[in-house]
A and B are shown apart, each in its own frame.
Chain A
């Protein structure tokens, strides 16, 4: 009897996600690049680099649990980076107003995706693919196809420069004696919000029920459409947050920012053990998935593995992790 909980834990997705993470960390210990892997600054930088992906992974997890997928988040990062840079650098708006505007823009994109999926029954893949293309176009239109930076080009061809507003530094900053990046804290904040929604709120349960068996949920009186709207809306909001972080790290608004980030976000959720068919998973798994991806990239980069090999290895490891996660039917 006493072994049953242990055995259940060993069979759980959380354990297997930990196993995948431990495997990558073990590789890091073995190939530590003359001790570089054992320095805290390596881990700190890994956390900083994975944070934007991780923030997107949080929203992706909510959507995946509800039985959908959100391909638009990478483009929303680009859109929000551009809007944020434009409002703060060129328009000189106060940071809070710009943040509010960006949050509204990201959420609105998410809600449109959600409405297409929930009310008009467009397949999630198609609806969010369309929003991905649309948001990227919007980002380019707003920015005129140019990166929005401190250098402002005037009609006569001359440049003037503006100071970087303090909000950029505040976001791309280290605290605790330089040992932790603010973006990492923001990522952990998004994890916390997602955890609250999924574990503590009624609508979190509705997300699981919708993804698990939409028909049974609907017939039980669950507001399936509103649950989906919430998932896509939050995914858009998180993508906006990621866009601000991206802009702060690059000190500019690049309309191309965030392309293919949606794929990394999906990889993070899936490597953690969230099932793409919906109804199962949790934000803890996504956190583990983000760390796994982060360490994988870091280990490969400190060992100076070339980009081509890095991509191929990453692909192989995603497949390995997913095969490891496969649960028996039933």
Chain B
């Protein structure tokens, strides 16, 4: 066993009454790449945030090089040689590459007052050479936002090295990289490993796991399920660990759909460009036909393009998509949310706080926000009408609240989500695009939402559902499409869907025959 850099012992963490980590242990040796795997919500990010000094209130102990440590701030963790490369990079766009690399550890001339710009530049150039990042002195002075994401990624790594980091944590570093850029990153990972760094690597992509892993640790529901050398942990076993036994989730009794009706949403060759210029499309050549009363699931891990598919279809980014869309037989061109809502298409986003709710407004006003033209003839609000429809929705969705006038931000996660759902239902939609409808929702509200979805489809609505929780898809969907790198890699009918098969297809596994993964 090589030198042990880091040991986490029995780490536990709760948020309020919810336990998110329970007795998780993990160790990391010098020159090791340790994969941390698990479904969304398994506790990976929380564990990393504890290690990085972001969460300071936790149970258990961290040992660094044999000595116990407890970080009070991210900066302390940095100084101790731990660098985390987050999914959202922590670079400051308008600042130069050089200043970003040294941010928080500026080199000064003797006396400690004046910046040692020449010393910084020399060190930065040396660091860039180490990681094969070809930047000239002029490039170092340019704002980091002018560079493509792949370069930013490497700059982030250079920044970590400037802190003499021996432990690097990479949280899905490839989610926005092209193939060639991924290769470049992996070459660097290999070089860092040879220098004796320890790397904790979080990814959802099967091929990446087996390309870089020395050992693999799997978390599920906040517990460590197992740790094994990569060679001893073949794909089926890994998937088994991640999924475990069937969850005990159930939908509350709801009426069964009377059998699917006519097609209400048809996509043919639908493509959505990538939000960043010069990248392959986020979704290419997507085709599906959803009938009234049907729930069609889309299984996709981070970066699969599922979220972009919904945004594109809903017109959230304007008229940027190509391909044909038909709603109830009529051609439809996605161009703006307002148009989509008008034809009965609604999109529940995954980011409830950022793009779902207006937290400063009351429950009633949030519920009627998308259907105000109906609730205010001639542009004049009708408070009575508005309250009646908000009250009816609150009743139908059993939203628990003290008053329709309370700020929506004061509700629990599950009830907030129901308010967003109520907002869309008030528009009397035909098609619901639901993105992670039960994210951050407690188990009780979860099964209530499942029951509601059943009830809506029984009433003739069609639902497209994105979820990274496989049990949810298996429980609710009539059909499931697996999406990987913007393309459908497999389609499963309800009867033939297995968690193993879906996860393998969503991770772009090469083991499933007959599927190209671009």
Contacts and interface: CB of A to CB of B under 8 A. Distances in A.
B369 A209 contact: yes
Contact of A212 (B316, B361, B372, B423): B361
Interface string B193-217: 0000000000000000000000000
Contacts of B48: none
Contacts of B81: none
B338 A223 contact: yes
B365 A219 contact: no
Interface string B327-349: 00000000011101110000101
10 contacts: A200-B380, A208-B360, A208-B365, A209-B365, A220-B369, A220-B370, A223-B338, A279-B360, A279-B361, A280-B360
B360 A212 contact: yes
Interface string A198-216: 0111111110110111011
Closest 7 CB pairs of A and B: A221-B338, A212-B358, A279-B360, A220-B370, A212-B360, A202-B376, A221-B341
B277 interface: no
B143 interface: no
B358 A221 contact: no
Interface in B310-340: 314, 316, 336-338, 340
Contacts of A330: 409-410
B267 to A, nearest CB: 20
Nearest to B410: A330
A215 B354 contact: yes
A107 to B, nearest CB: 19
Nearest to B348: A219
Contacts of A223: 338
Contacts of A317: none
B337 A220 contact: yes
A203 B370 contact: no
Contacts of A219: 314, 316, 337, 347, 349, 355
Interface residues of B, number: 32
Given A202-B380, A205-B381, A221 B370 contact: yes
A216 B356 contact: yes
Contacts of B361: 208-209, 212, 279
Given A219-B347, A219-B349, A221-B337, A202 B373 contact: yes
A216 to B, nearest CB: 5
A222 interface: yes
Contact of B379 (A202, A221, A280): A202
A217 interface: yes
Interface string B351-381: 0001111111100010001101100100111
Contacts of B373: 202
Contact of B358 (A4, A200, A204, A209): A209
A76 B370 CA distance: 35
B387 to A, nearest CB: 14
Contact of A204 (B347, B354, B381, B423): B381
A218 B379 contact: no
Given A202-B380, A204-B381, A218 B337 contact: yes
A202 B402 CA distance: 25
Interface in A170-214: 199-206, 208-209, 211-213
B380 A201 contact: yes
Considering residues A199, A212, A219, A222, which has the most beta carbons from chain B within 10 angstroms of its beta carbon? A219
A202 B356 CA distance: 19
Nearest to B357: A216
Nearest to A203: B379
Interface in B370-414: 370, 372-373, 376, 379-381, 402, 409-410
Interface of B: 314, 316, 336-338, 340-342, 347, 349, 354-361, 365, 369-370, 372-373, 376, 379-381, 402, 409-410, 423, 427
Given A215-B354, A219-B355, A201 B381 contact: yes
Interface string A216-243: 1111111100000000000000000000
A325 to B, nearest CB: 15
Contacts of B349: 219
Nearest to B372: A202
A199 B369 CA distance: 14
Contacts of B423: 220
A221 B427 CA distance: 11
Nearest to A65: B360
Nearest to A208: B361
Given A204-B381, A216-B357, A222 B369 contact: yes
B423 to A, nearest CB: 7
B330 to A, nearest CB: 19
A222 B365 CA distance: 13
Contacts of B376: 201-202, 205
A200 B380 CA distance: 6
Contacts of A213: 354-355, 357-360
Nearest to B402: A4
A213 B360 CA distance: 8
A206 B372 CA distance: 9
Nearest to B352: A216
A209 to B, nearest CB: 5
A212 B337 contact: no
B358 A279 contact: yes
Nearest to A280: B360
Contacts of A280: 360
Contacts of A201: 376, 379-381
Contacts of A211: 360
A254 to B, nearest CB: 38
Contacts of A212: 358-361
Given A220-B370, A222-B338, 9 more contacts: A202-B380, A208-B358, A208-B365, A212-B361, A213-B354, A213-B355, A219-B314, A219-B347, A220-B341
